[in-house]
Chain A
Amino acid sequence: MIVAERKPIEEIKRMLEGYPSVLVVGCDSCVAECAAGGHRETQLLAAALQLAFGKEGKSPVITEACIDRQCVDDFIESIASLVPEHAAILSLGCGAGVQALARVYSDKPVFPALDTLFIGETEMRGIWQENCLGCGQCKLGYFGAVCPVTRCSKRLMNGPCGGSKDGRCEVNPDIRCGWQMIIDRLEALGELARLSEYIPPVDWSTSHSGGPRRVVREDQLP
């Protein structure tokens, strides 16, 4: 899923300054799982904005709505009747959700309430871990299903750097050394020999380095 965090209320307020009415739109998919932009957070942010503006003696109309998936047109259309009554939209979707709303409601200013961070997993309630960079050529099969592109701070492909200490990364002891994880896992699986193979330079052309990516599937087209 996509993991995001709410922006500081000050920044959100500054973006919305001057609009007499704002439609606050949550997304009940990824960003709900990471407790950043689901229906709960949408209600919370709407109330917080009322309080923030109220403190300054302002009372813009603030309406909440939450849709199941902000990155798919079918769902986005469910708020179509609310949009014309509002001067601006505040999205609690990820970056993709914000841009999809802006594409569909092209005559409305759309603002992000979240900072989109990464593709990751819920390690436990309250902890989300980045574990995929979307490089476009999954190499997990070679590394015991631990991604060196994501979990190593230097994206090393041929083994750990000299900064690995007690299973921790030199960058920050809160970061687990991805290469220690790869080695531990392959050792447990009895497949450590995999790592003696030289991995040639990565083809980054399938990553964002090749420009914005797009998938077209004839069989799926209407």
Chain B
Amino acid sequence: MKTRSRLEKVLNAGLFAVTAECGPPKGSNLSVLEKKAGFLKGRVDAVNVTDNQTAIVRMSSLAACSILKGLGHEPVLQMVTRDRNRIALQSDLFGAYALGISNVLCLTGDHHSFGNQKQALGVFDLDSIQLVRTVKDMRDEGRIIGGDEIDDPPKMFIGAAANPFADPVGFRVARLAKKIEAGADFIQTQCVFNLHRFDEFMRQAREAGLTEKVKILAGITPLKNAGMARYMATQVAGMDVPEELIKRISGVPEGNQAAEGIKIAAETISRVREIKGVAGIHLMAIEWEEKVPEILEQAGLASRPQV
């Protein structure tokens, strides 16, 4: 074990891991977090807290992680390089570890032109892969960028993202290899809707020997209705929602579309479980965390193992 992360324990034990995403509130309202935490309690191995996702200002990921930790959750601190330079990022990593946080997901982040602060200065001092290496060097070498030694280095279980559906398609597995080489222990993928393309991505990853080196968690997002399916297909960068899926959810009466979306998500989970090299799922129920128990029950993942 490299860290004291519970997620690492689950994955190392070869158990099928379940993580879920939790978006912090657009303010300091603690009760929103408490409510979401309640839905996820006992259902997941770890909870990812997004870092100002889609560049919309929200409660800091670090603060929300600490609150979730207090509520008995295992948090995964999402960190984007869009808003903070290497001084701030490394400082936050010290702080996170001191607060008992042992998982970090290293991301570049959605461009600020998508959010509600379009006039902001984009930082991008590091990229996500450089952040991965930075966290690894902190843990394994006990040093920050530049070589200074750390007094009690943070020992983080290091995550990175992968998007099997973005272009240039031919470079996606090469980029995954680069993230692993830089030090990623686990990968959470972009939402899987196109199973065919995901299957192909995993086949290439296996052939390159990458599934031996890293734990890959397939991203799952339940669709609330046909409108959301269409929106994800056309308006969200890096998303691949096949036409047949849009047709399927549009084909049921409006009142039943949510149920159909949940059913699709549960089916997708069952399908990705059969793909060799998939070590777990990462459930991103966007502002729909209350449906997580239902999706997991339908997928036959009702309870979590004790480790």
Q: Which residues of A contact B (CB under 8 A)?
A: 153-167, 170-172, 177, 179-180, 183-184, 195-196, 198-202, 204
Contacts and interface: CB of A to CB of B under 8 A. Distances in A.
8 contacts: A154-B82, A154-B122, A157-B130, A162-B190, A163-B237, A177-B167, A179-B168, A201-B145
A158 B184 CA distance: 14
A160 B171 contact: yes
Contact of A165 (B82, B171, B190, B238): B238
Contact of B111 (A163, A184, A196): A163
Given A157-B129, A158-B127, A164-B166, 6 more contacts: A156-B124, A158-B182, A170-B237, A183-B171, A201-B126, A202-B125
Interface residues of B, number: 36
B181 A159 contact: no
Contacts of B165: 162
A154 B127 contact: yes
Interface string B86-108: 10000000000000000000001
A104 B166 CA distance: 53
B65 interface: no
B231 to A, nearest CB: 15
B133 interface: yes
B178 A196 contact: yes
A154 B130 CA distance: 13
Contacts of A153: 111, 113, 122
A161 B108 contact: yes
Given A167-B167, A170-B111, A198-B182, A158 B130 contact: yes
A154 B113 CA distance: 11
A172 to B, nearest CB: 8
Nearest to A184: B168
B259 interface: no
B275 interface: no
Contacts, number: 100
Nearest to A193: B174
Contact of B178 (A170, A179, A183, A198): A198
A164 B163 CA distance: 10
B237 A165 contact: yes
B113 A160 contact: no
Contacts of B177: 196
A155 B129 CA distance: 12
Contact of A201 (B122, B130, B168, B190): B130
Contacts of B167: 160, 164-167, 177, 180
Interface string B113-155: 1100000001011111110011000000000010000000000
B108 to A, nearest CB: 5
B205 interface: no
Contacts of A177: 167
B175 interface: yes
B249 interface: no
